[in-house]
Amino acid sequence: MAQTFTDMPLELLREYRPELVEPDGLDAFWADTLAEARAAARPATLTLVDGPVRALSVQDLRFSGYAGDEIRGWVVRPHGDGPLPAVVEFIGYGGGRGLPGDKIAWAAAGYVHVIMDTRGQGSGWSIGDTPDPHGSTAAYPGVMTRGIHDPREYYYRRLYTDAARLVDVVRELPGVDATRIAVTGGSQGGALAIAAAALSGDAVAALLPDVPFLCDIPNAIVRTPSPPFTEITRWLSIHRDDTAAALHTLSHIDGAILARRIRVPAFFSVALMDDIVLPSGVFAAFHALASEDAAIEVYPYNGHEGGGSRHWARQVAWLDARFGVASGA
């Protein structure tokens, strides 16, 4: 964790609105990508997991993501038929869906909790089960530069598509109230939550990203001292003639650009001692929202861990109020 503030003062962060250039044809790029994925999709499957978590139902989920690739996840929910509101959670960089029962807090709070595995990751700090079967041109170790020369080949095109496809699937799950679906996640998971909300239209009813990654990327790659953003700077230090192509690709997945499409209620968090996701990137995405109901919780003395369990309790109260969930029910 950083020991000092890693970015500009809070009063300047609250005014920070970078002039990021949106690539031509961005909406068509994503519409075509999602149409291709939906055309290749097969029916999702749910399998009950027999394990030590008995007070909740835990199911193994398999659904079709980018190009029809099988993506895995967990569905954790209270016993009963519902319908209940759902929280879809995406995982931070290097992590996977974990083991069944690793994440039970949202279900314990009365929500259907859907956790998406992360293709090609899941070996850094939590286990995953989903491969990324697509190759890449020369890349720096990690996933940040896989296919970075071309938006159609970029790794995060595949991962963002998985996230949007999961929203499609959750709307059809038994026992889910399709009008009350929220998306959340920390760091990379926060970036995926922003992408899912931006690309899914009114299918997502609320957005709760924590210290979201992949926002205001042109600034982040020259100012962030820590990985994973440094994967890109290291790649560019070798591929000296490819800066323009890489920045063009990255503009297709920048959360501070995609956030312009989000009109639903949103609750962000930011940590001012974060040296992995600079606070300026979080504020850039927050200020880009088109939502009339948006709030950001600031944790001045925290690093990338953000607000931890204290912030989760605030998220529950915030989402309960918007979804009409009675406290203690």
Q: Is the dihedral of CA 43, 95, 284, 225 positive or negative?
A: negative
Q: Give residue 126's identity as a one-letter amino acid code.
A: S
State the catalytic residue, choosing from 149, 252, 304, 311: 304
329: CB partners within 8 A, 6+ apart: 110
Q: Looking up tokens 């967990």, which residue turns up?
A: 74
Quote the tokens at residue 138. 């020369």
Cβ density class 48-67: b for 16+ within 10 Å, e for less: ebeeeeeeebbbbbbbbbbe
Q: Note if 311 is an active site residue.
A: no
Q: Note if 187 is an active site residue.
A: yes
Give yes or no for a contact between 232 and 168, defined as CB atoms under 8 angstroms apart.
no
Q: Give residue 108's identity as a one-letter amino acid code.
A: A
Give yes or no for a contact between 291 and 268, defined as CB atoms under 8 angstroms apart.
no
Q: Looking up tokens 């930011």, which residue turns up?
A: 270
State the catalytic residue, choosing from 64, 126, 187, 251: 187
Q: Note if 269 is an active site residue.
A: no
Give yes or no for a contact between 119 and 158, defined as CB atoms under 8 angstroms apart.
yes
Active-site positions read 187, 274, 304
